[in-house]
Amino acid sequence: MYGALDISTGGMIAQRARLDAIAANIVNKDTFLDGAGKNNPFKRRVVHFAPGDPAATSPRAGDLGVHVARVEEVDSYTLKWEPNNPYADANGYVKYPDINPVFEQLNAYEAQRAYEANLAVAEATKAMTSQALRLIA
């Protein structure tokens, strides 16, 4: 049982990281300028998971659990014809982020549900721990 709480916490952390990336994608769906003021659209972030949790504090939880293996920046964009936009190229096109808010919303729902599932297991583990403590109370 020791380590189960660590595993569920790792699962919640991973899902929260995924939700952070989704929030960044949604909020930047129209960001077509970079920090230097050039037409360099925001790249969509995708969080990739892998089994095992190197950050687990319990030695038994390290091989189990989940962690964020990498955050991919998807190098794609869409072109919009805006000839009056000062950032338009010679043909009148402006590069915009390739982000579909509906798709991001669906991913957010999935991350939320997965977070809740981890939370349910964490609650169950907590109940088991307090049950075990009652043995010596």
Partner 1 sequence: MMLEGISNDGAMPVLEAMIRFAGARQRLIAHNVANIDTPEFRPLDVSPREFQKALAAAVERRRSGGRVGDLQIEGGGNAPFEQTPDGQILLNPKPEPGNLLFHDRNNRDVERLMQANAENVTVFRVASDLLRSRTELMRSAIAERA
Contact residues for partner 1, defined by CB under 8 A? 1-5, 7-8, 10-11, 14-15, 18, 48-51, 53, 60-61, 64-66, 110-111, 114, 117-118, 120-122, 124-125, 127-128, 131-132, 134-135
| Dist. CA 63–CA 6, nearest whole Å | 11
Identify whether the C-beta of residue 44 lies closer than 8 Å to the C-beta of residue 73: yes
**CA distance linking residue 75 with residue 65, whole number of Å:** 30
Query: What is the residue whose two structure tokens read 């964009």?
Result: 77
Compare residues 1 and 27 and give the one whose CB is closer to partner 1: 1
25 closest CA partner among 117, 90, 106: 106
Minimal distance, residue 86 CB to partner 1, in Å: 41
Please identify, using beta-carbon distances, which residue of 12 and 94 lies nearer to partner 1.
12
On whether the CB atoms of residues 45 and 20 are closer than 8 A, the answer is no
Distance, CA of 99 to CA of 108 (rounded, Å): 14
Minimal distance, residue 69 CB to partner 1, in Å = 9
Q: Which is nearer to partner 1, 94 or 122 (CB)?
A: 122
> Of 11 and 41, which has the nearer Cβ to partner 1?
11
* Shortest Å distance, C-beta 47 to partner 1: 9
Minimum distance, C-beta of residue 32 to partner 1, in the bound complex (Å) = 30
